[in-house]
């Protein structure tokens, strides 16, 4: 075999390999788009259908379809951005992403669902999240695994590179027909498995493993991260009357702001923050209270009784 012929054969083999790889990627993308269409349709049903059983059946099919979709090669890179019923956020270091959503129950309460999908570059590795909220008696003091998850629909992941690295998760947590919750949770990995909650929130009366806010359903609450200041800022919630101090379902913002500031791997509670010192021009983390209220309402369909 001449050198020229050998080089030609090698070139042909390389071209064939590139073509085959491209063909596989196109096939996978096509399959993921088919799954996406199904997920989008099922998601609309479990959000909007007035029948409680139909919502739950749609969610059951949604979970099965999602698992099949995530098993498709290169699924981690597929955004599923047409599936508006769920939140999908990647960790800033692209180590994992969290897919989370909720289904409203007939009584106006919520059940949350989700999974942590790891970026393996190969076979699927994920950790389904099982909502254990009703059975967690002291959620601010609990460290749990993915089977005893304090369910929420996340909208922000903040990596913290402390001696033991972890990720702050900020999420919305519908609660009942009277109140809404938001949560600041912590995700870490031990032996390559997820753990939720960590003793890193200091002040405001105690050390907490996660921070939970509860307030009246008809109001909105600001909760956002200010990256330039390593600060999580939020509305201070208070009752309309001192006699209601033990009724968090009556609480609302009182036009003051508190926060947690990162220091040496812990988050230190700060009171009465001056919001004038917090940048908002071009800050894509800003949550306009009116817009947040509209968003919360859009996440809360009101089912009719059968």
| pLDDT for residue 148 is more than 60 | yes
Q: Could you report the per-residue pLDDT of 35-69, keeping only the tens digit for each? A: 999 999 999 999 999 999 999 999 999 999 999 99
- Rounded to the nearest integer, the mean pLDDT of the chain is 87
Write out the two tokens for 150. 């304090």
Using a 10 angstrom Cβ sphere, with 0-12 exposed, 13-18 middle and 19 or more buried, the burial of residue 145 is middle
* Band of pLDDT at residue 14, cut at 50, 70 and 90: low
Closest-CA residue to 101 (of 33, 179, 186, 39): 39
Q: Which residue has the tokens 């996440």?
A: 299
Phi, psi of 53 (to 5 degrees): -65, -40
Closest-CA residue to 87 (of 95, 78, 79): 79
From residue 162, alpha-carbon distances to 9, 130, 140, 165, 237 in Å are 53, 28, 21, 5, 30
The Cα 166–Cα 1 span in angstroms is: 59
Q: Where are the domains positioned within the chain?
A: 144-298
Closest-CA residue to 88 (of 113, 120, 58, 57): 113
Bridge partner list, 171 = 154, 183
**Does the global pTM surpass 0.95?**
no
Q: Could you report the per-residue pLDDT of 240-284, keeping only the tens digit for each? A: 998 999 999 999 999 999 999 999 999 999 999 988 766 553 333
Q: Say if residues 82 and 40 touch (Cβ distance below 8 Å).
A: yes
Task: Tell me the torsion sign for CA atoms 243, 246, 252, 253.
Answer: positive
Strands 223-226 and 231-238: antiparallel
| pLDDT for residue 22 is more than 60 | no
Task: Tell me the torsion sign for CA atoms 288, 301, 156, 239.
Answer: positive
| pLDDT for residue 16 is more than 70 | no
Work out the average pLDDT over 77-96: 96
| pLDDT for residue 174 is more than 60 | yes
């Amino acid at each position: 075999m001449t050198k020229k012929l050998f080089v030609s054969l090698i070139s042909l083999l390389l071209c064939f390999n590139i073509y085959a790889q491209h063909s596989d990627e196109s096939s996978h993308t096509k399959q993921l788009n088919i799954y996406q269409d199904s997920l989008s349709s099922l998601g609309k049903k479990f959000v909007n259908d007035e029948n409680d059983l139909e919502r739950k059946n749609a969610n059951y099919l949604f979970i099965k379809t999602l698992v099949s979709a995530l098993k498709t090669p290169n699924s981690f890179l597929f955004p599923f951005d047409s599936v508006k019923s769920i939140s999908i956020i990647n960790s800033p270091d692209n180590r994992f992403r969290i897919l989370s959503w909720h289904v409203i129950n007939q009584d106006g309460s919520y059940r949350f669902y989700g999974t942590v999908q790891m970026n393996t570059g190969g076979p699927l590795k994920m950790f389904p999240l099982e909502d254990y909220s009703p059975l967690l008696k002291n959620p601010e003091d609990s460290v749990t695994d993915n089977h005893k998850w304090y369910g929420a629909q996340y909208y922000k992941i903040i990596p913290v590179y402390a001696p033991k690295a972890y990720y702050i998760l900020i999420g919305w947590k519908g609660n009942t027909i009277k109140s809404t919750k938001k949560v600041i949770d912590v995700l870490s990995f031990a032996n390559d498995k997820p753990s939720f909650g960590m003793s890193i929130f200091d002040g405001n009366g105690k050390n907490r493993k996660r921070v939970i806010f509860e307030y009246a359903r008809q109001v909105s609450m600001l909760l956002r991260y200010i990256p330039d200041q390593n600060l999580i800022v939020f509305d201070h919630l208070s009752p309309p009357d001192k006699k209601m101090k033990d009724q968090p379902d009556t609480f609302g913002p009182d036009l003051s702001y508190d926060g947690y500031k990162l220091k040496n791997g812990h988050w230190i509670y700060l009171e009465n923050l001056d919001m004038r010192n917090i940048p908002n021009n071009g800050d894509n983390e800003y949550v306009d209270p009116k817009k947040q209220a509209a968003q919360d309402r859009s996440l809360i369909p009101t089912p009719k009784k059968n």
